[in-house]
Amino acid sequence: MPTFRTPQVVQLPPEAVARAAAFANAVSATVNYRDSNQTMKQKIHDDHFVSKLGEEAVRHVFITRNCEVKGPDYSIYAGKQKSWSADLVINALDVAVKTQRRSAANRYGLSWTFQDSPERRDPILDMPEAWVCLVVYEDLKPNYECMVYPLRKIKQLIFEAPRLSKLVGKKQAVYLETLQKHKVFK
C-alpha cells in the first residue's frame, strides 16, 4: 500500500467538515458514556466531530495516494448496534483512526486514548497486528488543518496510563513524546 514516512498536513475541504458536523449533531443524543464519567453533551458532540475530522483527513491522505478507501461511516446506530468496526478500510486493510485536538495536547501532552475500562474496552487493544493512524486536529489554526501520522500496528505503540487522573483505569494513552523517544516516529 502506498504510505508515507513523515506526518502529512491536510486542509479539510468544507464538505468534509460539514459531514463531520452533521454526524456529531445526529449521534450525540444516541450515546451513553457514563462509564467514562462523560455526561457533558457538548464534550460528547465535540469528540464525535473531531474523530470524524481525523477520519476524513486520513481518507484524504490515502485517496491522494491512489488508494481505495471505504469510510468514514456516517450511519447512526442505536444502542447494541453500535460497533467497534474499523474506521476506514484502505486497500482492503482495516484501519482505526485516533484523533487529538492540538488545544488538548497543549494542556495534557500530545496523546491518543483507547477505551479500557471494566465496562467497555476497545477490542483493538487485543489485536497486536491491527493498524492505527494517529491524527492531530490543529484546532488552534484556521481552515480545519490536520496532521496525519504514518500507519502503525498496535503492537508498535507504547501504552501508558493517562496523565489526566480521572481517566486512569478507564483509558490507555499513547503519547507522541514516548513514541519519538523510542523511535516509533521520528
Q: pLDDT tens digits for 28-50?
A: 877 655 444 445 788 888 999 99
The pLDDT of residue 43: 84
Bridge pairing between strands 131-138 and 152-153: antiparallel
Q: pLDDT tens digits for 85-124?
A: 899 999 999 999 999 999 999 998 999 999 999 888 999 9
From the number of C-beta atoms within 10 Å of its C-beta (0-12, 13-18, 19+), residue 61 rates as buried
Percentage of residues in the chain having pLDDT higher than 90: 76
CA–CA dist 171, 183 (Å, integer): 23
Report CA-CA distances (Å) from 112 to 43, 77, 86.
16, 24, 16
Q: pLDDT tens digits for 59-86?
A: 999 999 999 999 999 998 876 666 678 9
